[in-house]
Structure 1
Amino acid sequence: MAKIAFTAARVSGFKCPSDKKQAFLWDATAPGLGLRATPAGKPAYVFQSVYQGKDIRITIGSPTAWRIPEAQAKARELQRLIDEGKDPRDLKRDALAAQAEKQAAAAAKAEADKAAALTVGDLWPLYLENGKPKRKDAWKPRYRADLEAMAVPGGEKKKRGQGLTRPGPLYPLLALPLAGVNEDTLKNWYDREAVSGKHQAARALMMFRGFLRWCAARPEYRSLTDRDAGGAPAILESLPPNTRRKDALDGAQIAGWWAGTEQLGNRTAAVYLRALLLTGARREEMAALRWQDVDFQWRKLTIADKVEATRTIPLTPYLAQLLATLPRVGPYVFASTGKAGRITDARASHAQVLQHAQVKHLTFHGLRRTFIRQGRNIAPLGVPAQIAGHTPSAVADGYAILTMDELRPHAERVEAHILSLAGVQFDAQAEPGALRVVAG
């Protein structure tokens, strides 16, 4: 095996003949150092020697990366290892493994640092997009809107009144790293928000606990999430009592309330409020009613439902007359000139009605309770519950789902009962819109 002293010119000029698979140039200065070349590949420094009676060859690297003195020094180092009874190949494998382990550790640390920096705000849009309840196709629109409103940054011009809107209760939490959300941070947040309103802060907390459960259920966020942070005793002890509202009109108050709706200048709002009392529908369900869902011929209403997509209820005679008196100026029954095209907030109108009736407090849900309570006085338990949209499992005694033909006579008796309490007389046999309703 002929040897020559390596020089830059000799190394750069060395080529492999095209009729050979590989060729070697061996250095006369450093024992075992060679330059290997192939017809198609780039040349590389190699070290060749004998270890435990067997030839070994180790690639050192490219001449463009290793200067000749460096390659010579590396060859001497490898030969010393052999002289000491060590296999350079094992040491190289160990070095590569150690390097790979170091790189993996560095990558894991970088990934951990990235995960630790993941904020609630980074994940909140993903939660809104993918965090819908199990067995549901999507969030209920109203709840989705509430989730969004809870985390708005505020600072927008108020639609009513002067000044700017306040940030939503959950907005301060968006800047926190998910890994930093614990009992202490939530307790401090809740105490600050509760100053403005305990019940609103408590509702925001319940929503945020749903977000934590969603994060804990996903493998990529599970290790960062303290699922139980929102249920810590220190926080629960600060929550306001979970008392269910029980407001409703007494039978004797219905006449005054009804007379109050007659005094409203906005007839659409007046009919809307009466429709809530006569059907027990939730305010958003009735507000979203479209003309295409009002069947005057077969006397049916199809309205949005909180539990199911829709529910169909009887269109009772007096309610049919009320709806027939409204102008058809768009797709919605309770049309409005606002952006939504329909009535969205009737609180001001309802406040006028309550003031006229001298009723101190009654929520829209109180109208729903009034319908159910009065309906139970003259109809089977399941009738007002089914019309109002309660599921059978949500009612203590349960009830059988009635067909439209079975439900209609009961619904008409419930309507007649409420109208009698309101002091209203009308001809139930008249065509919708044909007669004037007379309040007695």
Structure 2
Amino acid sequence: MERVRLTNERINSFKCPPGKSQAFLWDTETPCLAVRSTSSGAKSFIFESKLRRQTIRITIGDVRHWTLNSVWSGKGENKVEVQRGAREEATNLKMLVNQGIDPRQAKADQIAIAEARATQEAARQNAEAEAQRRTEITVADAWSKYIIYQKARMDRGGEKCWGERHLLDHEKLAQSGGIKKQIGKGITEPGPLSSLMPMKLSGLTSDALAHWLQDETAKRPARAALAFRLFRAFLRWCATDIRYSSLVSLDAINAKTVRDEVPRTKPKNEDCLQREQLAAWFLEVRKLSSQTISAYLQALVLTGARREELAGLKWSDVDLQWKSLTIRDKVEGERIIPLTPYVESLLLDLKRRNETPPPEYRISMGKRIKNDLEHWKPAEWVFVGASKTGRMVEPSPAHKRVLQAAGLPSLTLHGLRRSFGTLAEWTETPVGVVAQIQGHKPSALAEKHYRRRPLDLLRSWHTKIEEWILEQAGIEPLKNDATRTLKTVTG
């Protein structure tokens, strides 16, 4: 084993002899240090020693990158090692071996510790960044995720999932406005919740919510009350979601200062058809050019269904053999009610129209266009319309025209549902029967547990209600029970 005092000149002139793969030039000053030269011409400093009777050889580094001795800066106490030299590195490694420590394991431990520290630091920085990002989350950000979550539940179906109308309420109440109205002229107004959308979720204090309610109540109290209820449900959802639970406080929405600002809505006792108004109402409804909307409005009064329950009716929900309708409701998921004779006649007319193919050609923008009859198929919806989904568009404008022509006061579509329950009292139909037909929650203990009436029993009462309403409207059956007409009512 050749040993010399290593110098830069000797290192530069040292080469691996021909016929060998590598050669070593050992240092006399630091015996555990050597220069290794390979047949390819590569040179590196290496450390070699024995630990527990086993030879340890560690490559310190390329001689082009490592100096032989450390480079220092300053003097005395201010002396600082600027670059570690190979001799100093070998000396340190030898100290570890003398202590019974394998330098390779020590280096691996140092790397692991450094990586762990780096990982911890990265995690800390990420946590801080995430915490900062979370504080920037706005109400609109969480609201959009809330809507996506509820839509997914609607797609899956089941109990307590939203209906289309409930979803539409959320969308309208949060809309920013400024969009051209789909029906009528002008642009849409901002919804009551729109002013909350840009706010940070973590900034929803009781004071902020109280001021919001004050502003909205002054402009539209009924909508403000609805917006408050929907927003409270939204915050309760946020409190259960890991992404937002640390950002919201239910104490804010439940604070007395907020609850005191919620407008107290009065029951709409007048929002229903009176007995003496039925003839005028039915007369004008049956004059509507849209047979779909005409049938829809009449069916609302004669079934007591919610507007979206009926609007979402599909032909697969109509059983013409057993005379029943399957209604998707928001209380029990679905309910089955009788298909009464007059309502059946309305639906049969719509079914004939729906199953009649369009003509071979149509006129559009002054041009004669051929219809694609090959791919035509009947609509799945009972009440069809020109919307993207194929369902009937908003029937309220047509109903307002009916009320105006009949000289009747303002009446909402929900008022038609309310009318069914009110008018049914004239027939002395049991309250539980009416509630089961309309899909109301049972109120009494007996209704909850024992009084689930079969369809035939419901049919006898429901038909009685329908016949009484039609009688007051001046509509009587002809020979065919599925065809009825108007008669003149005097007195």
- The interval holding the TM-score normalised by the smaller chain is 0.7 to 0.9
Structure 1 position 112 matched with structure 2 position 128: yes
Q: Distance in 2 between matches of 1:368 and 1:291?
A: 21
Distance 1:164 1:58, change over 3 A: farther
Given candidates 297, 305, 322, the residue that maps to 1:273 is: 297
Distance 1:395 1:240, change over 3 A: farther
TM-score (norm 1): 0.75
Match of 1:417 in 2: 468
Structure 1 residue 95: deviation in Å?
A: 9.6
When Rg is computed on C-alpha atoms for both structures, the one with the higher figure is 2
Given candidates 413, 418, 422, the residue that maps to 1:373 is: 422
Structure 1 position 75 matched with structure 2 position 94: no
Paired AA for residue 114 in structure 1 = E
Structure 1 residue 228: deviation in Å?
A: 3.7
Paired AA for residue 112 in structure 1 = E
Paired AA for residue 387 in structure 1 = I
Match of 1:215 in 2: 238
Match of 1:360 in 2: 409
1:301 is paired with a residue of what secondary structure? strand
Structure 1 position 336 matched with structure 2 position 355: no
Q: Distance in 2 between matches of 1:12 and 1:380?
A: 113
Q: Distance in 1 between matches of 2:472 and 2:25?
A: 112
Match of 1:165 in 2: 188
2:327 is paired with a residue of what secondary structure? strand
Structure 1 residue 306: deviation in Å?
A: 2.7
Q: Distance in 2 between matches of 1:289 and 1:402?
A: 23
Structure 1 residue 389: deviation in Å?
A: 1.7
Contact 1:392/1:400 (CA < 8 Å) preserved in 2? no
Q: Distance in 1 between matches of 2:323 and 2:229?
A: 41
Quick check: 136-145 or 347-356, which moved more? Answer: 136-145
Structure 1 residue 162: deviation in Å?
A: 4.1
Mark the runs of 5 or more structure 1 residues left unpaired by the alignment. none
Structure 1 residue 393: deviation in Å?
A: 5.3
Q: What does the per-residue CA deviation read over 1:63-105, in whole Å, with 9 as the maximum and x for residues that have no partner?
A: 49963262348639959999xx9x9989986897477446513
1:392 is paired with a residue of what secondary structure? coil
Contact 1:178/1:225 (CA < 8 Å) preserved in 2? yes
Structure 1 residue 248: deviation in Å?
A: 2.4
Distance 1:439 1:333, change over 3 A: farther
Q: Distance in 2 between matches of 1:236 and 1:319?
A: 44
Match of 2:306 in 1: 282
Distance 1:3 1:357, change over 3 A: farther
Structure 1 residue 347: deviation in Å?
A: 1.5
Match of 1:128 in 2: 147
Q: Please, what is the CA RMSD of the aligned residues? A: 4.8
Structure 1 residue 380: deviation in Å?
A: 1.7
- What aligned pairs does 1:136-151 form with structure 2 within 5 A after superposition? 137=158, 139-151=162-174
Contact 1:44/1:59 (CA < 8 Å) preserved in 2? no
Quick check: 291-300 or 63-72, which moved more? Answer: 63-72
Distance 1:95 1:49, change over 3 A: same
Given candidates 425, 430, 440, the residue that maps to 2:480 is: 430
Match of 1:315 in 2: 339
Q: What does the per-residue CA deviation read over 1:408-430, in whole Å, with 9 as the maximum and x for residues that have no partner?
A: 11111111222233333324x62
Paired AA for residue 71 in structure 1 = G
Aligned pair count? 433
2:411 is paired with a residue of what secondary structure? coil
Distance 1:23 1:412, change over 3 A: farther
Contact 1:81/1:88 (CA < 8 Å) preserved in 2? no
Q: Distance in 2 between matches of 1:192 and 1:8?
A: 88
Q: Distance in 2 between matches of 1:106 and 1:59?
A: 31
Mark the runs of 5 or more structure 2 residues left unpaired by the alignment. 69-83, 355-377
Structure 1 residue 201: deviation in Å?
A: 3.9
TM-score (norm 2): 0.68
Contact 1:46/1:57 (CA < 8 Å) preserved in 2? no
Contact 1:379/1:410 (CA < 8 Å) preserved in 2? yes
Structure 1 residue 280: deviation in Å?
A: 0.3
Paired AA for residue 169 in structure 2 = D
Distance 1:79 1:267, change over 3 A: closer
Q: Distance in 2 between matches of 1:237 and 1:382?
A: 35
- What aligned pairs does 1:4-153 form with structure 2 within 5 A after superposition? 5=6, 7=8, 10=11, 62-63=61-62, 67-68=66-67, 70-72=84-86, 75=89, 78=92, 97=113, 100-101=116-117, 103-118=119-134, 119-120=137-138, 121-131=140-150, 137=158, 139-153=162-176
Paired AA for residue 67 in structure 2 = I
Match of 2:370 in 1: none
2:85 is paired with a residue of what secondary structure? helix
Paired AA for residue 111 in structure 1 = A
Distance 1:58 1:174, change over 3 A: farther
Paired AA for residue 366 in structure 1 = G
Paired AA for residue 229 in structure 1 = A
Give the fraction of aligned pairs with identical amino acids, expressed as a percent.
Answer: 35
Q: Distance in 2 between matches of 1:218 and 1:8?
A: 71
Contact 2:26/2:33 (CA < 8 Å) preserved in 1? yes
Distance 1:161 1:91, change over 3 A: same
Paired AA for residue 348 in structure 1 = P
Paired AA for residue 469 in structure 2 = I
